[in-house]
Every structure is written in structure tokens, then in C-alpha cells.
């Protein structure tokens, strides 16, 4: 082979190698949270109506990349999905299911029975026979429509007071405490394969935890299928303590059920008058600027505190990953978190892993680093 042919062959070979490298690079997809934690638990988010309708291409891509579980923030609550006794509205729930199926996502239905955002006609029922009939129709119709498509349901939401007693609702008033078993049994009968959860906030509170355990044990004694408890993670930078979170995960798991961390957001702004909980019906009026300390931007020092808090919490989740089925962030980014307007309108909070421009925050990187460090 002469020199000219040699160099020609060499150039061709180098071009082929470069082409192969480019093809390999194309095959390497970017990793999201769902990929980082794929061996530990599902990573979910709550979607609002605009996100379900895929109106923002940047958010669409972020949701598909980062999460493998979705929960509807509002569109499956009874006042929207079943606004009148003889009327159901499935337009947005159907779009949610289609979005999840397109992206291969787990779907958490939210929620079948809840005293808040409740269809008005439920509140008018005083006869137990009528309530059973209406509740049966409600659950049969909704669960039946999505049988085999929705993977799990928050069957009953927030049925407990902070002291662990059952909350006074129309369901408790008309049917008594076993309305919970009735709701779970109805859902299980319609879709025997769907997972059934009880979901509530302040589930690290010792009194509420004791009430929840008592409630689940009673349902189990009645032969009711309960697959898991959803611990809403509407937490702050310092409270609840890691010890309280861990003790709760362990005690709920000891019931023989899964634990899901639901509605996770870490607030960085103060609560008025030391109010605790996550009751959406609670509202305060305040012109005190200390209640809205970061109206435009979160200081770097607080970004660091938030990152450290998320890292500590996720480290705990990884420690107990065999007990945890799913960790769901309650919102995609800081711009659409419900915390901006609760319990005081007009506040700016920064409780999630993505900022208002859908950019990864320091907290995001602190969480991802946990898995990177553990694999080294």
C-alpha cells in the first residue's frame, strides 16, 4: 500500500470511529430523578390542569424526564370529577391517564373520598341507605372507568384530626366510622388489582400517628384490604424532626403495609402564629412582611439550608427504601406550588426541587448526590 492509499484508509477509519462515537453518544439519554432512584422507589409529581393538557413544552419535557409517577393535584377530587349527582366529568382525568401512558408512568388516583373540595350534593345526604348508594355509584363509576389503568388510589383522604380522632364529616355523621372500610371495599371490588392507600398530613405527629394505626388496624380486623399509608410531606426546614419521620415510617410499615411519601414540599417561609398542618380550608390575613420574607428571590443561605434538609430527608428514605413505595413531590416547580398562596395569599415560597424557571436548584443536586456517593 503506498503512502497516499495508507493515509486515505487512515482518514476513513478515523471518520468511522468518530461516527460510531456520535451514535453511542446519541444512545445515552439524560438521567432524571426517576433514573437515579429507580432501584429504590418511584419518584412522582403532582400535575395541575395546565400540565395535564401539556400546554408548556419545557414543563412537558421536564415531567417526562424526571418523574415516573403522577398524581392529579385537583382534577379527580369529587367537586370536579363528579360535580352533580348524575354528572361525571372525565375530560382532564382521561388526559392525565393518556399522558401517563405515553410516558410509561405509574398513576396515583387522588382522591375518592374527601370532606374538602366535596361535591355539594354529598353534603345534603342525611340517610345512610342513600349515602351508601351514592358512594357506591361514585366509586364504581370512577374506579371502573380507570380499571387496569390507574395503579393505585388514595381511597380516603384526611379523615383524622390532629389528636388522632376521626374528623367530623358528612361521611362519619351518616355512616359511622366504618365508612372507611366501606370505601376501601368498594374500590377493591371494582378493581381487585389496584393498590389502596389512606392519605393524610401531619402523619409524624405522635397522636395522629396513633390514631392512624388504630384506624388501619380496625380496617384490617374487618378484613379490609389496605395496601399502604400516604404520609403527606408538607414539612419545613426544621420540623418535623428526622427522628419523628423515621419512627412514623417504621411504625406504619410494621402494620404490614407500604409507606408512600406523598405531597412532599419543604416550606422555607414561616407559618403564621405557629400554625401546623395542611388543611386547605385554613386561611389567614396578614400584612406582616415577615410572613413573606423572600418575595423576589431565595437567598443563597436559605438555598443551602433547603438543600441540606432535602438531603437529610432523602438519606432517611434510602435507609428505609424497602418500606417505601413512592416519593411524590407536590408540584413540578416553585411557580406552581400551592404553598405560594397558603395559608396567606400572595406569598412566595420555594419548597420544590425546581425553581420558577424549571431550573434545578441546589436541593436537586444534593438529593442526586446521595445516590452518586453511595455507588462510588
CA distance 3 to 25: 33
Closest CA to 163 of 198, 211, 203: 211
Catalytic residue among 66, 73, 158, 195: 158
Closest CA to 314 of 329, 296, 302, 333: 329
**Contacting residues for 290 by C-beta, under 8 A, at least 6 apart:** 270
Catalytic residue among 59, 66, 73, 263: 263
Kind of pairing between the strands at 258-267 and 228-236:
parallel
Assigned C-alpha cell, 102: 405515553
**220-246 in b/e burial notation, b at 16+ Cβ within 10 A?**
eeeebbbbbbbbbbbbbeeebeeebbb
| Element holding 342 (H helix, E strand) | none
CA distance 45 to 201: 17
Backbone angles phi, psi at 62, to 5 degrees: -65, -45
Check residue 39 and report its DSSP letter. T
Q: Is residue 158 annotated as a catalytic residue, yes or no?
A: yes
Q: Are 331 and 265 in contact (CB under 8 A)?
A: yes
Q: Is residue 375 annotated as a catalytic residue, yes or no?
A: no
Long-range contacts, 140-145 (Cβ 8 Å, 24+): 140/186, 140/190, 141/82, 141/88, 142/76, 142/81, 142/82, 142/88, 142/109, 142/112, 143/109, 143/112, 143/186, 143/187, 143/190, 143/191, 143/194, 144/190, 144/191, 145/90
CA distance 220 to 163: 22
| Element holding 370 (H helix, E strand) | helix 362-375
- Residues classed as catalytic: 158, 263
Amino acid at each position: 500500500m503506498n503512502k497516499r492509499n495508507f493515509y486515505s484508509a487512515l482518514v476513513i477509519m478515523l471518520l468511522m470511529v468518530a461516527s460510531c462515537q456520535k451514535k453511542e453518544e446519541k444512545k445515552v439519554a439524560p438521567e432524571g430523578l426517576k433514573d437515579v432512584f429507580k432501584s429504590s422507589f418511584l419518584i412522582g409529581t403532582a400535575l395541575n390542569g395546565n400540565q395535564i393538557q401539556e400546554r408548556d413544552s419545557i414543563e412537558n419535557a421536564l415531567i417526562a424526564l424526571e418523574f415516573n409517577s403522577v398524581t392529579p393535584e385537583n382534577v379527580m377530587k369529587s367537586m370536579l370529577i363528579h360535580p352533580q349527582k348524575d354528572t361525571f366529568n372525565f375530560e382532564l382525568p382521561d388526559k392525565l391517564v393518556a399522558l401517563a401512558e405515553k410516558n410509561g408512568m405509574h398513576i396515583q388516583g387522588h382522591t375518592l373520598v374527601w370532606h374538602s373540595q366535596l361535591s355539594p350534593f354529598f353534603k345534603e345526604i342525611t340517610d345512610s341507605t342513600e349515602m351508601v348508594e351514592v358512594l357506591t355509584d361514585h366509586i364504581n363509576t370512577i374506579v371502573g372507568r380507570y380499571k387496569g389503568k390507574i395503579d393505585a388510589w388514595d381511597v380516603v383522604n384526611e379523615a383524622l384530626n390532629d389528636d388522632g380522632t376521626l374528623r367530623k364529616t358528612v361521611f362519619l355523621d351518616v355512616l359511622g366510622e366504618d365508612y372507611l372500610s366501606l370505601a376501601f371495599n368498594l374500590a377493591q371490588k371494582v378493581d381487585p388489582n389496584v393498590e389502596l392507600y389512606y392519605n393524610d398530613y401531619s402523619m409524624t405527629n405522635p397522636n395522629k400517628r396513633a390514631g392512624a394505626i388504630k384506624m388501619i388496624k380496625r380496617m384490617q380486623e374487618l378484613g379490609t384490604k389496605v395496601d399502604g399509608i400516604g404520609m403527606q410531606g408538607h414539612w419545613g426546614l426544621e420540623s418535623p424532626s428526622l427522628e419523628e419521620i423515621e419512627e412514623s415510617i417504621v411504625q406504619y410499615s410494621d402494620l404490614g403495609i407500604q409507606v408512600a411519601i406523598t405531597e412532599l414540599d419543604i416550606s422555607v417561609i414561616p407559618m403564621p402564629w405557629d400554625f401546623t398542618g395542611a388543611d386547605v380550608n385554613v386561611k389567614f390575613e396578614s400584612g406582616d412582611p415577615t410572613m413573606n420574607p423572600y418575595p423576589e428571590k431565595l437567598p443563597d443561605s436559605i438555598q443551602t439550608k433547603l438543600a441540606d434538609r432535602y438531603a437529610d430527608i432523602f438519606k432517611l428514605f434510602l435507609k428505609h427504601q424497602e418500606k417505601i413505595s413512592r416519593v411524590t413531590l407536590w408540584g413540578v416547580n416553585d411557580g406552581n406550588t400551592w404553598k405560594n398562596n397558603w395559608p396567606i395569599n400572595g406569598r412566595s415560597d420555594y419548597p420544590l426541587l425546581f425553581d420558577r424557571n424549571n431550573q434545578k436548584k441546589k436541593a436537586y443536586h444534593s438529593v442526586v448526590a446521595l445516590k452518586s456517593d453511595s455507588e462510588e
